[in-house]
């Protein structure tokens, strides 16, 4: 889609001094707006005090766990971004 806003990965540092953590992604026309959008989308419940955004295409990721790929993904299947890195496994109670 030629006019699609770029994809940004969002990293947030919470109240407790831990490092910035990947929380998800969003679309925005530029970095400034991406930060504002991240504030509105990912800190609605006081989750963070500091936000980083980086355009997804600038993230370099380590190789997947399997080596020696017999089946290379075709060009049409490029994975656009390695999103949702680590979110703790605890599950909100219902």
Partner 1 sequence: MAEVDKDKLYQFLLRMGDNTLILGHRVSEWCGHSPVLEEDIALANTALDLIGQTQMWLGYAGEVQGEGKSADDLAFLRDAWDFRNVLLVELPNGDFGRTMMRQFLYDAWSSIMLGHLQKSTDERIAAIAAKASKEAAYHVERSSGTVVGLGDGTEESHNRMQAALDYLWPYVGEMFASDEIDLAMAAAGIAPDPANLRDEYDALVGRVLDEATLAIPAGNYVHKGGRDGRMHTEHLGHLLCEMQWLQRAYPGCEW
Partner 2 sequence: MYAQMVKTASNRVKTREEMSPEEQHFQDKIDNDVKIEPKDWMPEDYRRTLIRQIGQHAHSEVVGQLPEGNWITRAPTLERKAILLAKVQDEAGHGLYLYSAAETLGVSRDELIELLHEGKMKYSSIFNYPTLNWADIGAVGWLVDGAAIINQVALQRTSYGPYSRAMIRICKEESFHARQGYSAIMKMAFGTPEQKKMAQDAVNRLWFPALMMFGPSDKDSVHSEQSMAWKIKVKTNDELRQQFVDQTVPQIDYLGLERPDPTIKWNEERGHYDFAMPDWDEFFNVIKGNGPCNADRMENRRKAWEDGAWVREGLLEHARKKAARKVAAE
- Residue identified by tokens 């030629």 is 2
Task: Indicate the residue among 13 and 82 with the shorter CB distance to partner 2.
Answer: 82
Q: How far apart are CA 18 and CA 78, in angstroms?
A: 33
Q: Which long-range contacts (CB under 8 A, 24 or more apart) does 41-44 make?
A: 41/10, 42/10, 42/12, 43/12
Which residues form the interface with partner 1 (CB under 8 A)?
A: 5, 26-29, 32-33, 36-37, 39-41, 44
Which residues form the interface with partner 2 (CB under 8 A)?
A: 1, 3-5, 7, 24-27, 29-30, 33, 41, 44-45, 61, 63-66, 69-71, 73, 76-84, 87, 89, 91-94
């Amino acid at each position: 889609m030629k006019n699609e806003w770029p994809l940004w990965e969002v990293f947030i540092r919470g109240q407790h001094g831990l490092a910035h953590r990947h929380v998800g992604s969003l679309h925005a026309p530029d970095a400034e707006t991406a930060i504002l959008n991240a504030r509105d989308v990912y800190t609605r419940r006081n989750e963070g005090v500091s936000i980083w955004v980086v355009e997804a295409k600038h993230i370099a990721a380590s190789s997947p766990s399997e080596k020696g790929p017999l089946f290379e993904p075709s060009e049409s299947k490029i994975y656009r971004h390695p999103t949702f890195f680590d979110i703790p496994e605890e599950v909100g109670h219902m």
